[in-house]
Amino acid sequence: MKNGVGAPLAAIAVIVVAGLATYFAGRSEAPVEADAPAAPLGEVASAPELGPAVSAVVGEGGVAEFMLDNGMRILVIPDHRAPVVTHMVWYRVGGVDDPFGLSGIAHFFEHLMFKGTEKIAPGDLSRIVARNGGQDNAFTGHDFTAYYQRIAKDRLPLVMELEADRMENLNLSEENVATEREVVREERNMRVESDPTAQLREQMSAALFLSHPYGRPVIGWDEEIQQIGRQEAIDFYTHHYAPNNAMLVVAGDVEPMEVLDLARETYGLVPARELAPRAHPAQPPRLSETRIDLAHADARLPMLSRMYRVPSYKSGEPGTAEALDMLTAILGGGATSRLYRDLVVERQLAVSAGSYYDGSSASLGEFGVYAYPRDGVSFEQLEAAMDEVLAEMFNAPPETGEFERARTRLVAAHTYEQDSQFALAMDYGVSLTVGLTVADVQTWPDRIEQVTPEDVQNVARTYLIKKEAVTGTLSPLTP
């Protein structure tokens, strides 16, 4: 992102879209990559697969998915409340695809995509979008890189043309690469080196994921960013930036066929390319708890946090990620959650406490708990209290009232999110890029309704294993 490396993603889960999941076959298009995302799950399993050789339309007047001849996926989310569109291109490439020794190249490359083409001067794409009343940006995660514009619907052809142009004709000059390297290093400096919380998080992730690339920062290690040159950038572009590795998401005041026709005239003209196969690195077992204690002069507040590797929506058995979403709602979602009530309100050991679950990843997800101690409270005291709250969760299922209130809050938050066209496009984009389906997205509220209090107890006991976790503390360093 010009303004950050996929920062909001931890807060985004799979979403809710109303509409019947009635699938029917659309027009037939060309075959696609063999490793295309999986078929729909559950009740729609007999419907045409959304991957190879098929286009499908989902829901009457609802979300539609297509495939161009060159293998580019298209998702249209009609939203007629205002004459605007959110136009996004998602590439199935991210930090996990950074070659060994070149961490940060996926994010670096995101910056290079703004450096112009034969037709467009460096920085002009954003200027053209702004001149037409729109906004644009991009972001990079471990599993994806995405570019977007939010603009009046009559300017959709313009942004599609611009985006298709840089998919194929980017100007990767020595000068562009050298200039942007310094911009990226400065971004790292601002976002990580000058933020002790980000530094602790980076160190903890590296420990948690061992050799799996989720342990490498998306922004890259500075020493490795410095190794990225023009040839590395050209190789990355050639192997990952192609229509057959991309998905177009258009949410807004449009009809699916209108978008398909425009896509054929723009993205449809970009030839498919042979892609570098994606690696599937192992998630090695963690045999022992790791502790990282960071003392830093710039730290303002002491903080205790713990990270666990847990299943994601993609990697987990059916129902597991849903139960983990319910677990974090009960344990750490807001002022009525257990961690907050116990550590902040009742025992007054912390000024804040909570938990999070990021299940929107292609491989394992991450679960975290954290608390900020009050003055005079030691990390030992706080951690012991946190472990007691967790132990209660392991020992008994949540009682019905607490469980139902948490579920209502969780589903309501997602329903509320539907009001944002950008959030809708974002959630479909993340979900489909990590290998989930439109049906997975649409059936999410129903699946949350099926989670039981015993399921929540069960995932807590099964996955929040302290000896496989990484626990970190951050302390202000007083001179």
Contact 19, 442 (CB under 8 A): yes
Q: Which two tokens stand for residue 429?
A: 């984009």
Compute the distance between CA of residue 230 and CA of residue 236 in angstroms, rounded to an integer. 10
Dist. CA 74–CA 89, nearest whole Å = 9
Residue type at 292 in one-letter notation: I
Query: Backbone dihedral region of 197: left (phi > 0), alpha (psi from -120 to 50 degrees) or beta?
Result: alpha
Q: How far apart are CB 13 and Zn ion at their closest, in Å?
A: 24
For Zn ion, the closer of residues 145 and 457 by Cβ is: 145
From CA 211, how far away is CA 46, in angstroms rounded? 38
Euclidean distance between CA atoms 457 and 370, whole angstroms? 19
CB-based contacts of 292, cutoff 8 Å, min separation 6:
200, 203, 204, 207, 470, 471, 472, 473
Beta carbon of residue 363, minimum distance to Zn ion (angstroms, whole number) = 23
Q: Which is nearer to Zn ion, 187 or 224 (CB)?
A: 187
Q: How far apart (Å, rounded) are the C-alpha atoms in residues 208 and 217? A: 12
Shortest spacing between CB 381 and Zn ion, in angstroms: 39
Candidates 38-46, 179-187, 209-217, 290-298; binding stretch for Zn ion (CB under 5 A): 179-187
Pick the catalytic residue from 110, 163, 180, 187.
110
Cβ 238 to Zn ion shortest distance, Å: 22
322 a catalytic residue: no
Determine the 3-state secondary structure of 172 from DSSP: coil
**Nearer Cβ to Zn ion, position 65 or 187?**
187
Nearest distance in Å: CB 166, Zn ion? 16
204 versus 219: smaller Cβ distance to Zn ion: 219
Which of 53-61, 157-165, 186-194, 262-270 is the region at the interface with Zn ion (rule: CB under 5 A)?
Answer: 186-194
Phi-psi category of residue 123: left, alpha or beta, with phi > 0 → left and psi -120 to 50 → alpha: left
Find the DSSP H helices in 226-270: 230-240, 256-265
**Which of 145, 360 has the CB closer to Zn ion?**
145
CA 73, CA 245: separation in Å to the nearest integer? 9
Closest CA to 237 of 351, 328, 353, 109: 109
Q: Which is nearer to Zn ion, 193 or 383 (CB)?
A: 193
Task: State the minimum distance, in angstroms, from the CB of residue 383 to Zn ion.
Answer: 35
Q: What are phi and psi of 63, to 5 degrees?
A: -70, 135
Least distance CB 108 / Zn ion (angstroms): 8
Candidate segments 96-104, 185-193, 197-205, 292-300, binder of Zn ion by CB under 5 A: 185-193
Judged by CB, which is closer to Zn ion: 180, or 440? 180
DSSP assignment letter at 193: I
Give SS3 for 139.
strand
Judged by CB under 5 A, the stretch of 181-189, 277-285, 388-396, 398-406 that binds Zn ion is: 181-189
Contacting Zn ion within 341-380 (CB under 5 A): none
Total residues interacting with Zn ion, rule: CB under 5 A: 1
Interaction site with Zn ion (CB under 5 A): 187
- Residues annotated as part of the active site: 110
